[in-house]
Amino acid sequence: MKLTIRLVLITIVSISVFGCQNYLDVVPDNVATIDDAYKDRVSAQRALATCYNHIPRNGTRHEPGFAAGDDIWIHEFLDKGGVGDRWRQYYRELAVNGNNVNRPLYSYWHNIEGGRPLWKAIRDCNMFIDNVHKARDLDSYEREEWIAEVKTLKAYYHFYMMQLYGPIPIAKENFPATASSEELMVFREPIDEVVDYIVQLLDEAIPSLDLKVNNMISDAGRITKPIAAAIKAKVLVTAASPLFNGNQDYTTMLDKRGVALFNSVEDPNKWILAAQAAKEAIDIAHEAGIKLYHHQTTFNVTDETLGVMQVSQIVADKFNEERIWSLSDFNSSSTNIQNLGLELQTIPRLHGDHANVVYQWFVPTLKMAELFYSKNGVPIEEDVDYAYDDRMSITLVPKEQEAYMQPGYRTIGLHLDREPRFYGSLGVDGGWWFGLGRTNESDQWPLDFKAKSITGGMIGNQRYSTTGYYIKKLSNFMSAYTGKDAYVGKPFDFPLIRLADLYLLYSEALNENLNAPTPKVYEYIDQVRQRAGLEGVVESWAKHSNNSQKPTTKEGMRAIIRQERNIELAFEGQRFWDLRRWKKSIEYMNQPVRGWNIEGETPQEFYQVITHNRSQYTLRDILWPIMQDEILRNKNLVQNPGW
C-alpha cells in the first residue's frame, strides 16, 4: 500500500498510518542518525512525507497568491489581533503598508511571518535523494518512483522561490557538516540557469512517474506524471513571460562576481519551449483521463442554476476529473478561529442564526465584479448591447433574469446581463445563493447586503464584508448551516493546477509564438468558454464587440487570453502570479480598492463607491526582499532592487 499523503492535515494522517508520533519532520539534521532514518521502507516513507509537508498552502491566508493580490480585500479587524493572532497583522500590514527588509512578511526564504521553510524543504529533498537507497526492503521500482516525486517537489520549491525572489541560489546538493563558513556563502544564480536546473529536475523525474495514483483516497496529492509535466509548463511559461524574459528593469542587477542575474534581451524561443511543454502536459493529462469538469446533479434545477453551481464545484468537488494537483483535505469545517475553514472566511451569514458562525474576512473587490464578461462573452466595456455607461445606475431586476437575480429587486446595471461565471463566483446584492442548506431552486437564499438586513451590515468589528461582495466560488453547495450557530462543511481539495489552467497557458504561449492567431490558439480557450456557456472567441467578438477584429491580432488575443485567465481562475490564487509575470502588477496594484457603502440602508446609500487605502506599489515590490540580516551574514548575496 502506498504512503498516505495529506498535504494539509498531514499530522492526522501520519498518526493514523505510523502510530502516535509526529512524523512531519522526521529527517534528522545530524549525520550520526541518518542511517536509522532510512533503515527500512517505513522510515523512508516518513522522510517522503516530510518532503511533501513543505508545499505552500494555496487558498489560505499563508500563501501570497491568495493573500497578496488585488482580487481579494480584508477589513480593518485583521490588524488588531494579539500575539497569537499575528497572521492578522501581517496580512493587513502587507496590503496597507507593504513589505520590509528587517522582518519580511510572507518570507519563504526565512520561514517567518506567514512563510514556509522552503530552503529546509529543498534540504530535506536532497537528503531523501541521497539516502533513500539505504532502505533495505524498498524495491527498486518504488525507490525510483519516490525519487522522481521528490525531484519534482525539489523543482517546485525552487520554482516557487524564483517566482517570489527572482534569481536564487541553486541547491543541487546539501553542504557537508564540515563545510566552512566561506563555503556556505552561496551566490544567487542567473534566472536562466535557475530555470534550466528546474526543468532538468522535472525531465529526470517525469519518465519514472505513474500517470495516476493507485488509490484516489489514500494517495491524494501524490506527484504523478501529469503534475510534473504541468509544473514544467508553468515554469517555462513563467520564464518566457516579460518579468523574466528580456526585462530591462533589472539590467544593473549584478552579483558580487559581476555576473548579470537577468537576461536583458528577449528570447522568442522561450515561448516555443513553453508552448511545447504546455501541449505535452495537456496530452499527458488527457492520457491520464483528466478532462474539463462538467457538473452533474440529482437536484431538479434549471440549466442556469446548474451553470452557477458548476463554477464553485470546479473547485469544491473533491474528486472531479479536471483536477491535476490539489491540496488534500483542505477545507476544514472547524469554527475554531485559528483553524477556520475557507468557506467560513468567505461566505455570508444567511439567517439570524448564522451570526456567530461565519467570519467574512476575505471578500472580492469591485474590480473583480467589473472584470467578468457580459452574458455575450465579451468585456462589458466592449459589448455593443450592454449599457456600460449606465452600469452604476439603480434599476429593477427584470423577470427574465430571475435565474440569477431576484425579480423586482433594486440593484445596479453592473449586476445584470452577466455571464454565468459572474453569478457562480460572486455573491452580489440582489442575487441568490444555492446550497448551504437550501437545495430547492425555488427556495434559494436571497441576498441583501445593505445595512440592517440579515445578510448585510456589520456584527461587531469582524463579521462583515468590507466591499459588499462575497466569494461564492470557494464554497461547496453541500455544506450547510444546520441550526443556530451550527455549520457542517463539506471538505474539498484546493486546486494548485487544473486542466483549464493548462489550456489557457497553451493558448497564451502559442499566441506569443505567432505573428497572428491561428485556429490552434482559439481551440483550447474556446473549450474553456464553451464549458462556461459562452460562444467561441471569434464568434463572440464578431457578434457583440465594438472591436470585432480584436481576436485576429496577436496583441488583441493576448488581452483576451489574459482576461479569460483572470475570470476562469478567479480567487484561486493565480491572478497574483500572472500579474507579476506579465509585468502588470504595478499597473493593477496601484488601482484603487473599491467596494460599496456597507453602512447604507437604501439602494441609493448602499451603491456609493467607497475607496479603501493600500500602499503604493512600486518596482521594488515585484521581487520580494531578502531579510537584511541574511545579506549581512552572507557577503555573496545581493539584495533585490529597491530594498
CA separation for the pair 330, 492 (Å, rounded)? 6
Is the pLDDT assigned to residue 268 strictly greater than 80?
A: yes
Q: What is the pLDDT of residue 489?
A: 84
Phi, psi (5° rounding) for residue 121? -60, -45
Burial of 234 (0-12, 13-18, 19+ CB in 10 A): buried
Q: What pairs with residue 494 in β-bridges?
A: 327
- All three cell numbers of 572, joined, read 484561486
Helix axes 140-165, 191-205, angle to 10 degrees: 160
Q: 391-433: per-residue pLDDT in tens? A: 999 999 999 999 999 999 999 999 999 999 999 999 999 999 9
CA separation for the pair 426, 363 (Å, rounded)? 9
Q: 20-42: per-residue pLDDT in tens? A: 222 223 344 443 467 788 999 99
Q: How far is CA 607 from the centre of its chain?
A: 30
- Give 490-541 as a 3 state SS string: CCCCEEEEEHHHHHHHHHHHHHHHCCCCCHHHHHHHHHHHHHCCCCCHHHHH
Instruction: State the average pLDDT over residues 496-517.
Output: 97
Q: 524-573: per-residue pLDDT in tens? A: 999 999 999 999 999 999 999 999 999 999 999 999 999 999 999 999 99
Instruction: State the average pLDDT over residues 464-472.
Output: 93
Instruction: State the average pLDDT over residues 617-631.
Output: 95
Averaged pLDDT of the chain: 88
Q: What DSSP element (H or E) covers 565?
A: helix 554-568
Is the pLDDT assigned to residue 200 strictly greater than 50?
A: yes
Q: What is the pLDDT of residue 76?
A: 63
* Range from 214-223, 462-471, 513-522 carrying the lowest mean pLDDT: 214-223
CA separation for the pair 304, 286 (Å, rounded)? 28
* Range from 148-162, 331-345, 468-482, 512-526 carrying the lowest mean pLDDT: 331-345
Which of the pair, 88 or 605, is modelled with greater confidence? 605
Q: What is the pLDDT of residue 89?
A: 62
CA separation for the pair 303, 404 (Å, rounded)? 11
CA separation for the pair 571, 131 (Å, rounded)? 40
Q: What pairs with residue 486 in β-bridges?
A: 483
Instruction: State the average pLDDT over residues 36-58.
Output: 92
CA separation for the pair 552, 575 (Å, rounded)? 25
